[in-house]
Structure 1
Amino acid sequence: MGEVLAPTARPSFARYWTAATISSFGTAVTAVAMPVLVVKLLHAAPFEVGVVSAAQFLPYAVLGLIAGAYADRWRRKPILVWASVGRAVSLGAIPILWLTGVLQIWMLVVTLLLFGAFSVFGFAATQSLLPSLVPRSRLVLANSRLDQSDAAAQTLGPAIGGGLVGLLGAPVAIIVDAISYLVDAALNAGLRVDEPAPGPRTRNLRAEIRGGLQWTYRHRTLSPMAASTHVWFLANGAAMTVLSLFALRSLGVAGYAYGLLLAVFGITSLIGASVAPRVGARLGPGRTIILAREAYPVAWILVALAAPTTAGHVLLFVAMGLQGLAAGLENSNEMGYWQGHTPDELLGRVNATRRSINRSMGALGALVAGVAVGLIGDQRTLIGVIVVFAAAALIAALSPLREAPDGQ
């Protein structure tokens, strides 16, 4: 029993985990409120909807490598705190602009660009701070706890968000997310963590970025895992774009049933995250990651086979359940592996490098899928999605990750 409680027995990790859980639920509320605000209240055109979606991810492509370098130059706790404050202010501006009657699409895009910029620094710091809060031997377990919170937010958050949107209206509901970031900042400000003193002020930013890239793409096992993950994000960005069109339009899935579909994903993600430490300990993190990657193309084959019948709808739920289980099983093992195999002085750059490219690939996948559905239809686009998921699995399976249980 002590093995299970080890990370949470540390007061700093418990505080950090609580902050992450609160902000995850706030994010889930905004995931419901933002589309309602954009589509129904601001009456955005399809192109404007795409611009709003892209605005949150563009800063990752522009600032990702720089944020990683500074996450290694500066103390990470202050970065995490101020990034949360910045996100709270950015989101808080949206309901204020709405209530004063001046909110327009371009203003929303500006606030989301600012939100995304603060998020780039925040995620670079948060993923790099965790190894200072728990022993490296407990990183998979600690990441599993964080994944459980995310899965719970994905399961319950949409229902909470829908209720708040109905009660308060979409713009006001976003205040809940802004407040969650302020609580996140307050909790993380009280963390007791020993961080190394900042390095010399005169540094070569280009050389530091190059150092992060070299560690990420020249390491024996991290390099193929990074490549596999980039391809996975390309496939997943396309898959989730096709899913909404395929399920709601081609299969005739009702809106409430689509919400249940996402809830099933959240529930099985929670199950996967709960068993991830034990599976990783038994198989090794490398082999666990490969097993999960091999499950994704199977899940999307099931999606492609679904028909506009009751049996087809059931098949869709089975597919999303498998997708969620694989995601929950994989993520904590992958994050723990990266954190455990990267020197502390490189963590910020390595984490930011991966996240920057991953988010860019996801955005590209969504854009390509949208165009492909219009040109060749959703069924054929799904076949392409399956092929790309299979390529991600193959890259991992043929890498040294399979050679040893500990992935060394």
Structure 2
Amino acid sequence: MIESTLPNILPDAFSGALFALEGIKDSLVVLNGPTGCKFYHAAVSGDQLIRGFSYDPVTNPERYYFRQNRIPCTFLDDHDFVYGATKKLEAILEFIRNDQFEYLAIVNSPGAALIGDDLESFFRNAYPDMPGITIENTGFSEAFSKGYSDTFLKILQSIKPVGELVKEKKTVNLLGVSIYHKYFEGDILEMKRLLNLCGIKVKTSMLAGDSTEQLSRFTEAELNIVLQPEYGKRAAQWMEKEFGIPYIEMETGMCIGFDACENFLQEVCNCLLCDVSPAIKDVMHARARAFANLYSFNSLTGLPKGAYFSIKAEASMAYAFTHFMHSYLGMIPEKIEFIPADRNGDYEEKLNRFLEANGLRNSIGKLENIELSSLVLADANTIAQVQLTRNSLFGIEISLPSFGYVHVLPKTFIGSNGSLYLLEQLLNGLKFVS
């Protein structure tokens, strides 16, 4: 039974800080801590954002890198926790001089944060002119998005804007997508595609694979677009205050579903005085394709209307999925479990109001012993856990960690293409369990 299994371990603020920094294409992140804090983060970063092709362990140094090509580590042991990590910090900063990077960060693991080493002094003694930051305390066991948001602000404050602070017409920054988002690459590509149809250029997709030079041009954008508020809203508010760049966030939390996509595009184009009609036409074509497949599937099975589903996600993502699946497809949420996150509250309230208005007030709760759901949208660990109690249940991965499927083509759940991909997953899942 699910009660007899250990609870899933969720990534915390430490992971959020590392993945924010790893989202800069030409960054190098030095971890001051034991090797156990390094391996998962280096592996995920290498899988999500391919920045080199030296993945053969033999070609990567055994010392500091430990046969991985990301996040060199000081490999602290019990002696260092007592006497400090001075020698290892000086040695690793000298060792990385031959590496190619334009932005440097030194981050303490939670345990190393207790030692008290002055990371800033080590950084500036070794690299006095290098852009970068040090983080002595990432937040310990606070939410992943809190560590990400805090680090996002530090990165912005450390990057000197290039050129004059002059806004380029019809340009935007994309905020709120980290490389720990399962389909971050596809999310960015879909947003760029839809905005390009409206004549809008993306200046930078912040901390989602752009270089330091690209990030340094964030002040040139006319508008900031927050794709997921838990990850991007604080940075957007700071940029509005410091540089006068307004921002928008989606009413439904994320751009999932046709209605959400149309409303988002209309709002952006109203702000930038652009023609939205080419993008709306794209969404209409997607709607037509969706209808044809839904009509065929429904005529044979009566589904997806009336089918139960459960979700585990941050509030803005849970709200977006639930809104689309209930309002557009007529599906019924059995259980919705929130992942703790920075600024979850607004969307928890929105989702509660939506559920209340639709007679679904008892849907909020943990995914334990669900009885009615045919589909579970969650990370792979949660899907595997709930499948222990029910074999006839199909899982759709919407976040990491994953089951390890290799995605060669970029995928997304946002925008018009993302709505179609989500529909594909839902229909095939219902076909599998019905």
TM-score normalised by L of structure 1: 0.32
TM-score normalised by L of structure 2: 0.31
Which structure has more relative contact order (CA 8 Å, sep 6+)? It is: 1
